[in-house]
Structure 1
Amino acid sequence: MAKFLPLAHAVAENLRDGDKVAFEGFTHLIPTAAAHEAIRQGFRNLTLIRMTPDLIYDQMVGMGMAKKLVFSYAGNPGVGLLRRVRDAVENGFPNALEIEEHSHAAMANAYEAGAAGLPCAVFRGYRGAELAKVNPNIKPITCPFTGEQLAAVPAVRPDVTFIHAQKANRRGDVLVEGIIGIQKEAVLAAKRAVVTVEEVVEDFDGLHPNLTILPRWTISAISIVPGGSHPSYAHGCYARDNAAYLEWDEIGADRDRFRAWMEENVMRAKPEDFAARVEGLRAGASLRSVA
């Protein structure tokens, strides 16, 4: 049942060294504030899971938090590489990183299988592709009814999932608007789930009944962090900080500059700083990244 907690407490209560953890978001609602709090608390040996790892996983890998990355695309969206991830894979810096790469379809199906309590996901996929040659967790399977050759991958079942959302009500239900991606399934598949939200409202009365709502019994903790998705956007709240993504390409490319930036903008920062970072974006203005 959801508890309202300060972000530092929510992270400390639900994330542990060695966990399989998903910080999920697709295009928007990326849980940046939660990831930064995890970085500040110094967790280690994590298996990071996500359909589309971007800046926050680049930062977590660069800080030596990850032993493995399970993903279907890794990049700085609209810009290029994740340079800290590449450094870890190619050079073992700051430590070696195991990677398990899938397609988007495989990751989405694997999350759904985890949410349904199934051991694996079976789907049409990987025909003509050679990813199975480098990923032993992609297995061929024959349909017992038609004889069709299909693909199977293990279900994704995180120890804990973190997402960002627009609203929670005072009972602890969470409302997610805009592009949903796989956040709902990532929460339902996890043992524990932490949600950062833009605001808390009395109720969701008057809203469309088909909006995505995560009931309070699916969530472990809720933390109120306005702007907590920056530099990604939150539909209906603030725009994407495009300048931050461009800037990150230069920051992430240099080990020393990366560490200095992380020390100033993450290690010394606080969750409440995010609100100021999106003020100009709420008005539709351009804002240079400081997060």
Structure 2
Amino acid sequence: MAKIGSLPQAVAELVHDGDTVALEGFTHLIPFAAGHELIRQELRELTLVRMTPDLVYDQLIGAGCAAKLVFSWGGNPGVGSLHRMRDALATGWPHPLEIEEHSHAGMANRYVAGASGLPFAVLRGYAGTDLPLHTASISTVTCPFTGEQLAAVSALNPDVTIIHAQRADRAGNVQLWGITGVQKEAVLAAHRAIVTVEEVVAELTPVPGAVVLPTWVIDAVAVVPGGAAPSYAHGYYGRDNAAYREWDSISRDRATFTRWLKNLQGTPS
């Protein structure tokens, strides 16, 4: 059952060094505040999982939180590269970074398998790519009914999944809507789950297309208004495009990034 409390408390209790951690949210509802709390608590040796790692994962990698990245696309949307990720891969600064790359379909199916309690998922995919040659979690199976050879991907069960949502009720049931991505599957696949929300309300009223996650699949809910910024929360605030552009210049230079990091951590620069 979900416990409603503070974000620092939830991270301290539920996320540990060496954990596999998924911060999911596609285009909007990206859990930036939670990612920043991981940095402030100086988590280390994390395996970071995300279909589309963008700024928040660049920040986590640059802060030295990550040992490995499991993903299907990485970049600063509409702007360019993730420079802290590139630096870690090219030079090992601040720590060497291992990567495991998938297709979007492969990652989504891995979450579904994990959420379903299955050891792997089957899909038509990866044909014409060399990803299976470099990724141990991709294999093939032969259909017992047709003889067709299909791609298989191992289930993904994060130690912790963290998402952001629009609201929760007082019992810890969570509601999110808009572009919902794989948040539901990532939460259901995880051993532990943290949700940051814009607000807690007395009752969850119906919203077209909304996803409701019941309290018994969530460990902690934290009220963090603006917790998805600079991404957006549909119905609450828009995307801060300037922040995405600004990140390109901040992240290009180690010294500039280090000043940003010290400011985030509240330490003197």
Q: Pick the TM interval, shorter chain.
A: over 0.9
Tell me which residue corresponds to 1:43: 43
Tell me which residue corresponds to 2:247: 248
Secondary structure at the residue paired with 1:179? Answer: coil
Q: Which amino acid aligns with 1:212?
A: V
CA displacement, residues 152-184 of structure 1 (integer Å, 9 cap, x when unaligned): 111110000000000000111000110010001
Task: Number of aligned residue pairs: give it.
Answer: 267
Secondary structure at the residue paired with 2:262? Answer: helix
RMSD: 1.1
Tell me which residue corresponds to 1:233: 232
Task: Provide the identity percentage.
Answer: 62
Q: Distance in 1 between matches of 2:251 and 2:20?
A: 24
Shift of 1:263: 1.1
Shift of 1:135: 1.7
Quick check: 1:158 aligned with 2:158?
yes
Q: Distance in 1 between matches of 2:45 and 2:258?
A: 19
Q: Distance in 1 between matches of 2:150 and 2:136?
A: 15
- Runs of 4+ with >3 A deviation: none
**Paired residue for 2:265, among 259, 264, 267?**
267
Shift of 1:208: 4.1
Q: Which amino acid aligns with 1:23?
A: L
Tell me which residue corresponds to 1:277: none
Secondary structure at the residue paired with 1:133? Answer: helix
What does 1:6-21 correspond to in 2, within 5 Å?
6-21=6-21
Q: Which amino acid aligns with 1:267?
A: Q
Quick check: 1:121 aligned with 2:121?
yes
Tell me which residue corresponds to 2:65: 65
Tell me which residue corresponds to 1:177: 177
Counterpart contact for 2:250–2:260, Cα < 8 Å = yes
Shift of 1:210: 5.1
State the TM-score, normalized to the length of structure 1.
0.90
CA displacement, residues 184-220 of structure 1 (integer Å, 9 cap, x when unaligned): 1000000100000000111113x14752100000000
Q: Distance in 1 between matches of 2:152 and 2:254?
A: 38
Q: Distance in 2 between matches of 1:211 and 1:60?
A: 29
Q: Which amino acid aligns with 2:189?
A: A
State the TM-score, normalized to the length of structure 2.
0.97
Q: Distance in 1 between matches of 2:4 and 2:256?
A: 36
